[in-house]
Amino acid sequence: MNKEASTQAFQQAQNLIPGGVNSPVRAFKSVGGTPIFIAEGEGAYLKDVDGNKYVDFVQSWGPLIFGHRDESIESAVIDAVKHGLSFGAPTQAETDLASLVVDTFDSIDKIRFVSSGTEAVMSAIRLARGFTGRDDIVKFTGCYHGHSDSLLVEAGSGAVTFGNPSSPGVPADFTKHTLLATYNDIESLKKCFADSNDISCVIIEPIAGNMGLVPADKEFLYELKKVCQENGALLIFDEVMSGFRATFHGAESITGVTPDIITLGKVIGGGMPVGAFGARAEIMAKLSPEGPVYQAGTLSGNPVAMAAGLASLKKLKANPKLYSVLESRAKRLVDGMQEEAKKCGITMQTDVRGSMFGFFFNENEVKNFADACTSDAELFAKFHSSMLDNGFYFACSLYETGFISTAITDAMVEDTIKASAKVFQAITNG
């Protein structure tokens, strides 16, 4: 497969952009090779600047549940653009999208739109601190909640559960209020509360998508909610990735656990930059201009992004059976690849939630980030590179989740499984 134009484009980009990319994972460092530069997307496919075509299992990291250039979303965006790109003033579209989301989530009475998932989480944590009057927060190792300073922490060691900065430029004072727990381990959470009586909130991806796909156990989430209630802390579900991807009504509808605050993004923007956070009225009343907790954004509620989100969610609401169809295809994909891997003596762990799927080259079940880190990264890199050469675009990190869109057909899934069989055989035979 010729990638000359992508190689040249990457070399040019590296002279002007740090690492040649505007988000680190895109640089292909964990899988090797040169990142492909995209020229266009259409339905289930991506086409790169060399003219190569790929079945896309990344879907812009989740937002494109209807694939690239969905006609209804594209039409809504074009119509909105004709009326203006941005006003910095209220529009009816904001209220319409808010109404749709509030009606969908039992735990949300009011919602505030922002421009990214990172911004949504940062604001939700500020709101939780303002509501409780406490400073500390708890996050789980392996859960990614954006790159705001207080969340860029690495695991503590020994008896110390407080986090240390995992990136230069983040002062220790910014992360000293962040405590770390182990995903799916309730005792590690209880240890955090034993170490601090000043915890404002616990934030978690109920369906983790940034250490690969690792859903939280229902029993764990139930106990998590119980511990929060007993200690007067708020529970935040970060559903920036899983919201409207795993299920239409959010993780609360499949886990039975109701959070205090929810953060959303990706699908609610239909491919445009959007984030949001919502909660019951009592909590949201603390937010400016009603309350003292300040949050603002010039492009928040951007009319073009609202139009794309409305079109996306309306289409999802009108097709309630869609999730079972997408889940069936996702399950067939990972089951099929797992079967082909097994024939070659390769062990895969797989999981599916709605249109989200994940797999690890690992002998053991993956329940947390430490488990994920024992996966075979070298094997994943070989698999990724070979599948790319065969025209199948998977996430360029073993710690990311894959996505099925409505544009990906059963036939495409079968073609992917067949290609994986060839790839596994080639890897096994050296």
Nearest of 25, 367, 382 to residue 212 by alpha carbon: 367
Diameter of the chain measured on Cα atoms: 65
Pairing mode of beta strands 45-48, 38-42:
antiparallel
CB atoms within 10 A of CB 173: 9
3-state secondary structure of 126: helix
| DSSP per-residue letters across 321-372 | THHHHHHHHHHHHHHHHHHHHHHTT---EEEEETTEEEEE--SS---SHHHH
Residues 308/113, Cβ–Cβ less than 8 Å: no
- Catalytic residue ranges: 144, 238, 266
Phi, psi at 338, each rounded to 5°: -65, -40
Q: How far apart are CA 201 and CA 261, in angstroms?
A: 10
Cross-strand pairs, 344: none
Q: How far apart are CA 118 and CA 120, in angstroms?
A: 5
303-317 helix and 92-104 helix, angle to the nearest 10 degrees:
40
